[in-house]
Amino acid sequence: MTTSDWPLWEVFVRSRRGLSHTHAGSLHAPDAQMALRNARDLYTRRSEGVSIWVVPSTEITASSPDEKDPFFEPSADKPYRHPTFYEVPEGVKNL
């Protein structure tokens, strides 16, 4: 790292009211204030957002921290968590 290297920030954009912020990508910026502005210019050039969060990439804690889990096994063995698991008699609506 030279002194001119700027840290990496993860950018989260709320595309419209009522939705949560979703990860849009990352960018480099010297500090949080500039990161927000760069994110506005880069990720919402076509009015894709109404609100932005920026988080230093190094501040994100992820699951499977040892980087060795071949794949993050989702709860594939718990099909009952999903609505399609349940059979509903034909004609029953709004369920």
Partner 1 sequence: MTATVPTAAALALGDDALVLSHRLGEWAGHAPVLEEEVALANIALDLLGQARVLLSLVGDEDELAYLREERAFRNVQLVEQPNGDFAHTIARQLYFSTYQRLLYGRLAAAGGDGEGGTLTGLAGKAVKEVAYHQDHAEQWTLRLGDGTAESHERMSRACTALWRFTGELFQPVEGLDVDWRELESDWLASVSAVLERATLTVPDGPRTGAWSAGAGRQGLHTESFGRMLAEMQHLHRSHPGASW
Partner 2 sequence: MTAVTADTQEAYQAAFDAAVAADERIEPRDWMPEAYRATLVRQIAQHAHSEIIGMQPEANWITRAPSLRRKAILMAKVQDEAGHGLYLYSAAETLGTGRDELLDKLHTGRQKYSSIFNYPTLTWADVGAIGWLVDGAAITNQVPLCRCSYGPYARAMVRICKEESFHQRQGYESLLALSRGTPEQHAMAQDAVNRWWWPSLMMFGPPDDESSHSEQSMAWKIKRHSNDELRQRFVDICVPQAEALGLSLPDPDLRWNEERGHYDFGPIDWTEFWDVLKGNGPCNEQRITQRRRAHEDGAWVREAAAAYAAKHGEATA
Q: Where along the sequence are the contacts to partner 1 (CB under 8 A)?
A: 6, 27-30, 33-34, 37-38, 41-42, 45
Beta-sheet pairing, 51-56 with 22-28: unpaired
Q: What is the DSSP letter of 76?
A: T
Q: Supply the minimum distance, in Å, between the C-beta of residue 89 and partner 2.
A: 33
Cβ neighbours of 26 (radius 10 Å):
16
Torsion of the alpha carbons at 13, 69, 58 and 10, rounded to the nearest 10: -20
Query: 37 contacts which partner out of partner 2, partner 1, none, CB within 5 to 8 A by kind?
Result: partner 1
- Name the site residues for partner 2 (rule: CB under 8 A): 1-8, 25-28, 30-34, 42, 45-46, 56, 58-59, 62, 64, 66-72
